Amino acid sequence: MSQKLRVGILGGTGMVGQRFISLLESHPWFEVTVIAASPRSAGKTYEEAVGGRWKMLTPMPEAVKKIVVMNVNEVEKVAAGVDFVFSAVDMSKDEIKAIEEAYAKTETPVVSNNSAHRWTPDVPMVVPEINPEHFEVIKSQRERLGTKSGFIAVKPNCSIQSYAPCLAAWREFEPTTVVVTTYQAISGAGKNFEDWPEMVGNVIPFIGGEEEKSEQEPLRVLGKVENGVVVKAQEPAITAQCIRIPVLNGHTAAVFVSFKKKPTKEQLIQKLTEFKGLPQELELPSAPKQFVQYMEEENRPQITLDVDYENGMGVSIGRLREDTVYDYKFVGMSHNTVRGAAGGAVLCAELLKAQGYIQAK
């Protein structure tokens, strides 16, 4: 590309917004030109607005420090300076729905990390390796919104990234039942240990809204496009428990699964390691070369050793074995703020750009 697309970050001062900014620091296609946040941050430089709340392990990029933060509610003004936006705003669900549609109606594509539009029938919710064909519904969404180039696309919840790819890779064996317990990092709540000292040495067996997302969102990802909307899959039946544990980054899942057509362990591992999609074929900048790795060691995957696999964009699976109640059980792990949040959205935007949905204004 001779010229990079201009990107706006909505909600740029929060943890996911910061992750977007750090991931885009040297992106070959995209450049952060606008950062928008709440009115209390507007008018300050990004460095001033974030203050001591920079939560990434890498330093704040020099290129964004002096960008003056805009008011996210001044939609026309923000949209005028960008080709598309990433959304990580911290608002109520109804407010997020309204503001993302408002940006789309300025002919600005919105790639969202938020959950507000994940069940809007004509909004694609995409893991690029699994269901890129769901972007087809953008055509009907544009007709509904009355736009030519503006639209909303979303990525699914961080908690499903460590097991939904397995269900997609194993689709031909027809998974029927999935029992999953996720062990979720504190950064999934937008916090670190300084913000949340009571999490040190602690486990909290409840994360509001996560279990419903963990049970239902994989079915939408595995669903089909019919008559301009996404229709969720009916199987497998998924039941989930979601637990907060004292790690900073990385969601782990312990999963049990049964199939209509029971495969061998070797077949399952082969399907995982061969699983790839359009991001790999197109060699998109953020795409992991190996989407899913299978680890033979009994004590892997581990957060400290494996969370940054493929720069945090890959998924690690291990301990696959036959079960006494279900057919198989395994452990999965993925980086919740990279693959599960900002990185997953960046990869969606790269694919949308490659397919012509996102263009320079």
Q: Which of 158, 166, 242, 348 is catalytic?
A: 158
Interhelix angle 343-354/15-23, rounded to 10 degrees, is 50
Could you tell me which of 284, 273, 336 has the C-alpha nearest to residue 307? 336
Q: Which residues are registered as beta bridge partners of 256?
A: 179, 329
Could you tell me which of 260, 252, 262 has the C-alpha nearest to residue 328? 262
What's the one-letter identity of residue 172? Answer: E
Could you tell me which of 76, 128, 118 has the C-alpha nearest to residue 96? 118
Please confirm, yes or no, whether 251 is among the known catalytic residues. yes
Distance CA 9, CA 37 (A): 8
End-to-end CA distance of the chain: 15
CA angle 221, 225, 229 (to 5 degrees): 95
Q: Which residues are registered as beta bridge partners of 257?
A: 178, 328
Residues 6+ apart with CB under 8 A from 10: 17, 36, 37, 72, 78, 85, 86, 87, 88, 89, 99, 103
Q: Which of 117, 134, 251, 335 is catalytic?
A: 251
Please confirm, yes or no, whether 335 is among the known catalytic residues. no
Distance CA 217, CA 12 (A): 25
Taking phi first (over 0 means left), then psi (-120 to 50 degrees means alpha), and beta for anything else, what does residue 209 get? left
Handedness of CA 319, 321, 324, 327 (dihedral sign): positive
- Write out the DSSP string of 183-226: EE-GGGGT--TTT-GGGTT--BS--TTHHHHHHHHHHHHT-EEE
Backbone angles phi, psi at 198, to 5 degrees: -70, -10
Strand segments, DSSP code E, in 96-218 are: 110-112, 152-154, 175-184
Count of H-run helices and E-run strands, the chain? 12, 14
Catalytically active residues are: 158, 251
